[in-house]
Amino acid sequence: MYETLTFTGGVHKSEEVKELIEDLGGFILQENIVQMELVLNMAVPLDDVAKIEEKSKELLAELSVAPMAGSEIAIVSPTLARHHLPHAACDISEYLREYGAKDNMIGLARGDGKGTSGISEEEKQLIEEHDIAVFALGSFETCIKNKSFLYEDIDIPVIVTGSPDIPIEELPGADAYVGGLGRIPRRLRRGPDIRALEKLVETVEEILNSKKREMNLDPPLVPSIVVKNAIENQIPEVKDAISPAPVTSQLDGVRVKIDYDKYHELIENVIIDGKKLSEIADIKKSKMYDYILVKINSESSLIEN
């Protein structure tokens, strides 16, 4: 088992912590450098967390548990048009990233107005490629309730946000609801806004942990971070990808941000523990920019086969 952590410290001597992660058999999930500060999301064996803590203290860096690291979250808004986009959607995205999540903003094609809003089958499939979907709705209770059809048959956990307090029982298809995050003409920087964002973080972490516990009953054949590491080491083309986090970890797979038609055979032939990746995972074309989506088979698939 691995623990996901976030290391925040200076760039100076950062190679030491990277080498330690490698020596411990851990993995770097994502690396960001802002001026002279390094933010490193990592996964290390549970038994070796103390060694990372010791190195972080030595380098005068901060180390925190990052439950969202290694997950991919969809932030869904009815539309990304300027006149309708809830400002909260941008702040939700930014805030979740601070806790290690990799998120993608998705705007629905027919979202403006409760009378004309809609969602296509292709949009649903794109959303379902993620671990969790956060639907950032608006400020009116009737509008939020009327738009429950947007997510009621989405096949991943769904969190709905909006301004009023609404009992979750009144939102069919939603796993959780977080209020205080409606559409307002300013950034979410005031006390009530921050508390609502913190509540959203708690809710996302609870659902992720619940999903992980459920997956432990029938776990993937190999951890997704092992697949991520194998692809990065065996497919040099991913290093030339200009997209951020070219190999993005999910709870049960990875998204590889290179063209499916051109590179899927290379991905299929990646070797992990003596087996081709195509033998232990479902590899298909993503609905996002024709990227490659890898979903790892569970242990029960061995029995079924």
Tell me whether residue 295 is exposed, middle or buried, using C-beta atoms within 10 angstroms of its C-beta: 0 to 12, 13 to 18, 19 or more: middle
What would the pLDDT profile of 252-261 be if each residue is shown by its tens digit?
Answer: 999 999 999 9
To which residue do tokens 């959607």 refer? Answer: 89
Q: How far apart (Å, rounded) are the C-alpha atoms in residues 61 and 78?
A: 40
Query: Model's pTM, two decimal places?
Result: 0.87
In this predicted model, what pLDDT tens digit does every residue of 162-221 receive, in sequence order?
999 999 999 999 999 999 998 777 777 788 888 999 999 999 999 999 998 899 899 999
Q: Which amino acid does the sequence have at 231?
A: I
- Which residues on adjacent β-strands are paired with residue 249? 254
Q: Say how far apart CA 292 and CA 275 lie, in whole Å.
A: 19
Size of the chain in residues: 305
